[in-house]
């Protein structure tokens, strides 16, 4: 159960790789990068013919070929086709054209950033990435262990090593941007307050409770009755005056145990239903009887109950500041990449050298 009652979720670590996909696409049709004899209405979706492999673009003399682009596109097209079997070849071709422009843009920008990585002698290791992931996990509410995160990835069909490798490139590019000045981007308290006042709907919270719990899970050498009996003993000790937090630290099998079982605040729909039902019915300070869920047996203690309403500015100030800084870093990254492209010699064989076009992105208003 290692997610400790929280419904399955993935930590979406936003890296600088996201900037690569949003810094713009060259305004050109899909047909311009294909053989002129190709029937654009009935394309081959996946097959790459390397015998007629053409150069799609050169970046400072570095050639990016049709087969390289198609190799990156193929898995995405296959996944889309599998998930949407009703799509016609014409629609798939349109999707392929859109993806192709994005992938080509990504390859161009990555090549330029890789050049900066080499120029600045930047070296990021897997250990650096794992350290960053661990920091991000520890800042979650409640904190998530590295092992718990690996299990979350596995439950969603993802591999931890692959995730590390993906973020290795992102962290490397982040350091390139920091060297260019992104690490000096900041936001003030007045910026945060202005954003808070202008977006009141973003700062409403639902009814929430804060609860602690003790969890006992039956193991392969133990029956459910034995696990429940152990929990009944702990409950009796609590009723006799035992300290709930200390008993949680000593007995609970949830990652929240070191914090005395504290799960912090959660709204309805966050926890498994049987646990949630009891938590929202208890009064503040009240302790439940033994509660069974699919994860095992629990004793729940509610420590606070907040009604639905506006979140005070001081409670969200740090998150708003973080959001505004990330927004400014996004803008910095777009400007920096635009400058890199302007300084580079980017040549599309069918069109010659052209000035790149950059698409403006409006970030979400949700911190």
Q: Are residues 153 and 259 in the same domain?
A: no
Predicted confidence at residue 359, as pLDDT, reads 39
Q: Are residues 267 and 294 in the same domain?
A: yes
Instruction: Tell me which residue range forms the domain holding 269.
Output: 207-307
Token reading at 134: 């661990």
Token reading at 219: 């193991």
Predicted confidence at residue 127, as pLDDT, reads 95
Predicted confidence at residue 92, as pLDDT, reads 86
Residue where one domain finishes, among candidates 273, 307, 341: 307
Domain count, the chain: 2
Residue where one domain finishes, among candidates 307, 341, 357: 307
CATH code assigned at 292: 3.10.50.40
Beta bridge partners of 211: 302
pTM of the shown model: 0.65
Q: Are residues 23 and 120 in the same domain?
A: yes
Q: Are residues 72 and 212 in the same domain?
A: no
Q: Are residues 64 and 194 in the same domain?
A: yes
Q: What does the H/E/C string look like for the chain? A: CCCCCCCCCCCCCCCCHHHHHHCCCCCCCHHHHCCCCCCCCCCCCCCCCHHHCCEEEEECCEEEEHHHHHHHHHHHHHHHHHHCCCCCHHHHHHHHHHHHHHHHHHHHHHHHHHHHHHHHCCCCCHHHHHHHHHHHHHCCCCCCCHHHHHHHHHHCCCCHHHHHHHHHHHHHHHHHHHHHCHHHCCCCHHHHHHHHHHCHHHHEECCEEEEEEEEECCCCCCCHHHHHHHHHHHHHHHHCCCCHHHHHHHHCCCCCHHHCCEEEEEECCCCCHHHHHHHHHCCCCCECCCEEECCEEEEEEEEEEECCEECCHHHHHHHHHHHHHHHHHHHHHHHHHHHHHHHCCEEECCCEECCCCCCCCCCCCCC
Per-residue pLDDT of the chain (367 residues; tens, 9 = 90+): 334 433 333 333 334 444 444 443 433 332 333 333 334 343 344 444 444 689 999 999 999 999 999 999 988 888 888 888 888 888 888 888 889 888 999 999 999 999 999 999 999 999 999 999 999 888 876 688 899 889 888 888 888 999 999 899 999 999 999 999 999 999 999 999 999 999 999 999 999 999 999 999 988 877 888 999 999 999 999 999 999 999 999 999 998 999 999 999 999 999 999 999 999 999 999 999 999 999 999 999 999 999 999 999 999 999 999 999 999 999 999 999 999 999 999 999 866 554 444 433 344 444 5
Predicted confidence at residue 14, as pLDDT, reads 38
Q: Are residues 176 and 281 in the same domain?
A: no
Predicted confidence at residue 20, as pLDDT, reads 44
pLDDT digits (tens, 9 = 90+) for 45-65: 444 444 468 999 999 999 999
pLDDT digits (tens, 9 = 90+) for 106-143: 999 999 999 999 999 999 999 999 999 999 888 876 68
Q: Are residues 295 and 329 in the same domain?
A: no
Residue 290 Cα distances to 4, 215, 224, angstroms: 16, 10, 13
Q: Are residues 78 and 160 in the same domain?
A: yes
Q: Are residues 60 and 116 in the same domain?
A: yes
């Amino acid at each position: 159960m290692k997610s400790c009652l929280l419904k399955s979720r993935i930590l979406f670590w936003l890296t600088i790789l996201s900037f690569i996909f949003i810094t713009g696409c060259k305004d050109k049709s899909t047909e311009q990068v294909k053989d002129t004899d190709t029937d654009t209405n009935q394309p081959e979706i996946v097959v790459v013919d390397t015998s007629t492999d053409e150069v799609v673009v050169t970046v400072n003399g570095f050639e990016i070929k049709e087969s390289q682009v198609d190799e990156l596109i193929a898995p995405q097209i296959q996944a889309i086709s599998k998930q949407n079997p009703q799509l016609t070849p014409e629609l798939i071709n349109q999707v392929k054209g859109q993806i192709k422009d994005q992938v080509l843009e990504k390859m161009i920008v990555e090549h330029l950033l890789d050049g900066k990585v080499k120029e600045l002698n930047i070296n990021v290791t897997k250990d650096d990435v794992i350290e960053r992931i661990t920091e991000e996990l520890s800042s979650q509410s409640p904190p998530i262990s590295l092992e718990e995160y690996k299990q979350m990835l596995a439950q969603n069909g993802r591999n931890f090593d692959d995730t590390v490798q993906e973020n290795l490139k992102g962290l490397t590019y982040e350091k390139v941007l920091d060297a260019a000045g992104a690490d000096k981007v900041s936001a003030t308290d007045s910026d945060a307050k202005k954003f808070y006042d202008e977006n009141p709907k973003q700062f409403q919270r639902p009814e929430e409770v804060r609860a602690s719990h003790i969890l006992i899970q039956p193991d392969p050498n133990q029956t459910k009755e034995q696990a429940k009996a152990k929990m009944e003993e702990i409950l009796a000790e609590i009723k006799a005056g035992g300290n709930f937090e200390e008993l949680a630290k000593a007995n609970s099998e949830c990652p929240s145990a070191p914090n005395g079982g504290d799960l912090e605040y959660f709204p309805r729909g966050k926890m498994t239903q049987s646990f949630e039902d009891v938590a929202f019915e208890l009064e503040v300070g009240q302790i439940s009887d033994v509660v069974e869920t699919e994860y095992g047996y629990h004793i729940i203690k509610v420590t606070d109950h907040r009604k639905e309403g506006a979140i005070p500015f001081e409670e969200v100030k740090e998150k708003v500041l973080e959001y505004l800084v990330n927004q400014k870093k996004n803008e910095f990254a777009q400007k920096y990449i635009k400058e890199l492209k302007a300084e580079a010699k980017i040549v599309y064989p069918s069109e010659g050298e052209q000035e790149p076009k950059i698409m403006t992105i409006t970030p979400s208003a949700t911190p």
